[in-house]
Amino acid sequence: MPTFTFSKPIEDVEEPILLEEDWQRAKIAAPPAIAPNKAKQADPESEKAGDNLEIALCLLEGEANGRRFKLYLPWPSLADEGKYDGIGMKVSDAKMERIADFTVKFGGIVEGTDVMLEENMEGYVYVTRGLDQQGQRMINSVDPFAGFKSVEELETEGEIAIESYAD
């Protein structure tokens, strides 16, 4: 039987360090792309089949520096046009609004039907704690429903908080 050798003993494998839930500065680490979601990959005819705008993010500050996350923003489809969410908004419009919010907060451009994003754009995402998909271990992930903040927006909030504290 072939033998393969790790560079260190399996007993020395470290558990991931959980970040606190908070806003984290991030940059787009690779060109964003539209790709099929898991349901579409498994069954292209499924009602849940669709596409996501996939965005690779890299955190930039403190102990989180270098941590990578993949953000999946559902891309609107024709099937979403006749569906409404819990607040009475068309599902397609809600998806468009979330993508537009991310784009603008990260310095991209939304103009008419076009969304322009590129690698190295920066903004803030909200990192949360929760269980992995198997329900086995606590992990961090980006919460797309918390919204997004621009670098200027969060830095201005920080300046206001410092000024208020000084008063």
pLDDT tens by residue, 54-66 = 999 999 998 889 9
* 51-60, 96-105, 115-124, 150-159: range with lowest mean pLDDT: 150-159
User: 118: Cβ–Cβ under 8 A, 6 or more apart, which residues?
Assistant: 28, 31, 32, 108
Look at residue 165 and tell me whether its pLDDT is greater than 90.
no
At 163 the pLDDT is 54
State the chain's mean pLDDT as an integer. 89
Q: What SS3 class is residue 99?
A: helix
Compute the average pLDDT of residues 152-167. 64
Q: What SS3 class is residue 61?
A: coil
At 45 the pLDDT is 78
Query: pTM score, two decimals?
Result: 0.83
